[in-house]
Amino acid sequence: MNQDKYLIKYYKNNNPVTERIAIKKKIITRTLILIICSIVFFVMLTFSDASKFKGEISLIDTLIPLKIIMMISSIIGLIGIISLLVSLVSRNHFNHFFTKIPFKIKRSIFVLLDWFSILPICVVITFFCFSYLFIITPVSGDSMIPNISNGEHVFVSYNKEIQRGSVVILEVNQNDNFHIDETSHYIKRIIGLPGDKVKWINNKLYINDEEYNESYFPKDYFGTAATNNFDGLFRYIDENGNEQMTEIIPEGYYFVMGDNRPISKDSRSIGLIPKRNIIGVATYHMNFIIPRGKIK
C-alpha cells in the first residue's frame, strides 16, 4: 500500500467527523429496522388468526421467545431514538460524551447491533408465515393410521382448496357441537362435501348412494374388522345455534372421518364440521421434521 492510500485509509478510520456520521447513520438505520419490525410484529399478533394460535395446534411454545425478542428490539429501538433526539437537542454534550467512549467498544456495540437487527426481521418473516401461510404441527393419536401415525408432523397450508379426500386440521367446540365438553382439535379426512349424502356401512363408503373407492387405503385394509356404521343422518348446529338433522350436507359444512375407522372420533359422532372451523389442509407429513412425502 503506497503512502497516499495509507493516509486516505487512516483519515477515513480516524476522522471524528466521518466516524460520527457513519455511526449516526448506523444508529438511524438499525433503530428504524428494530422499531418497524416491532410494530409489524405486534400488529400481526393483534389482528392475525395466529394471535389465537389456531387453538392449541400452532407453535404456541414459540410465541413467548418471539415476544421477548421483539420486546428487546422495541426497547433498543426506543433507546436509539432517544439517543438521537438527545444528540440533536444537546449536540455538544452528546458528542463530547460519545467521543470519550473507546473506539473498540463502539465498534463492538455496533457489530452486535448489526447482528441483532437481523433477528427481528427473521421473527417477522417467520410469524407472517405461521399467521397467513402454513404451520407445522404434531399429530397426537392413532385416528389417521395407516396413513399418518402418532407423533408424526404435518405441514398444514391455510390457503389450499378443500377437496374430497383432503386431510384437514379442524377445531371442534361447544358452539358447534352440544355433545362435547371442551374445545378440541382433530386431524381428519374430508369425506362429504356440501350437497352430498354419505353412508358408511360394513366398511364400505357410499356417497350419493354409490359406493366410493377410497384409493388412499391399502387393498382389503379393513378386512372383517368391525367399524362404526353411519346410516346417513347428519347432525349439525345451524347459524342460529339450533341443532338440526339432515340427510344432505348443507352449504358451508363438511363430513369428516379418520382413516382408522374402528376407533376414530369423527362426524359420525360429533356431527358435521362448519367450514370456518377448518384451519388448513395437511399437504405433507414428516417424521421429526424429516420429509416423508405427500399426504395420501
Residues that are catalytic = 143, 188
Tell me whether residue 277 is exposed, middle or buried, using C-beta atoms within 10 angstroms of its C-beta: 0 to 12, 13 to 18, 19 or more.
buried
DSSP 181: S
* Strands across the sheet containing 198-201: 198-201, 204-207, 210-212
DSSP 49: G
Three-state SS for 194-207 is: CCCCEEEECCEEEE
Beta-strand runs (E) in the chain: 134-138, 153-157, 167-172, 184-192, 198-201, 204-207, 210-212, 234-237, 243-246, 253-257, 273-274, 278-287, 290-294
**φ/ψ (deg, to 5) at 66:** -65, -40
If DSSP codes are grouped into helix, strand and coil, which group holds residue 218? coil
What are the CA-CA distances from residue 36 to residues 27, 40, 124, 211, 289 (Å)?
Answer: 14, 6, 10, 57, 32
Phi/psi class of residue 66: alpha, beta or left (left: φ > 0; alpha: ψ in -120 to 50)? alpha
Question: Residue 200: beta bridge partners?
Answer: 205, 230
Q: d(Cα 134, Cα 58) in Å, to the nearest integer?
A: 10
Fill in the amino acid letter for 126.
T
CA atoms within 13 A on the CB side of 106: 15
The pairing of strands 134-138 and 210-212 is unpaired
